[in-house]
Amino acid sequence: LAPSAALPAFTTPSATLSSTRLFSSTPATFREKKDKSWVQQGEVPYPELKSHTETPDESLLLLDVREPSETAQGMIPSAVNVPLSEFGPAFLNKEGGGDFEKKYAFARPEFDKKIVVYCRSGKRSEQARTELEKAGWWNVRNYTGSWLDWTAQEKQRG
């Protein structure tokens, strides 16, 4: 037999199939929608913070970022302290864990926890807010008046 007679003839189909995949094996990921209504309110005013300190609850963490020598002058009621100078090991370490709680006497906050930061005048607390956001905490606001405003407001109230 001649070679051409032994092999079947193949023709190119006139219409080619689309190369589009009908199915994908990429796993779906579901993300919980973040409620940003609280954080979008921006800076925390004194009356809002005062209300929280009068009836504190677990939904909000008030974080004083001053150095221990400064907190010796006093702290806003219900506040806890992590100095800005210690933010690297405290918050930038993704593992968190028991060391944080041993050192600061409270549990490291979850990434969606409402956090209000303050310092002496509002500058370091703004830096702290930015650092926390970079590290994954997205629900953080700044009490820009900070300790100076708090003490002045409290003095006016008598």
Catalytic residues: 119
Nearest in space to 41 (alpha carbons), one of 148, 140, 127: 140
Distance, in Å, from the CA atom of 142 to the CA atom of 131, rounded to the nearest integer, reads: 12
- Tokens describing residue 140: 């953080």
C-beta neighbour count of 126 within 10 angstroms = 17
How far is 129 from 82, CA to CA, in rounded Å? Answer: 13
- Rg of the chain, C-alpha, whole Å: 29
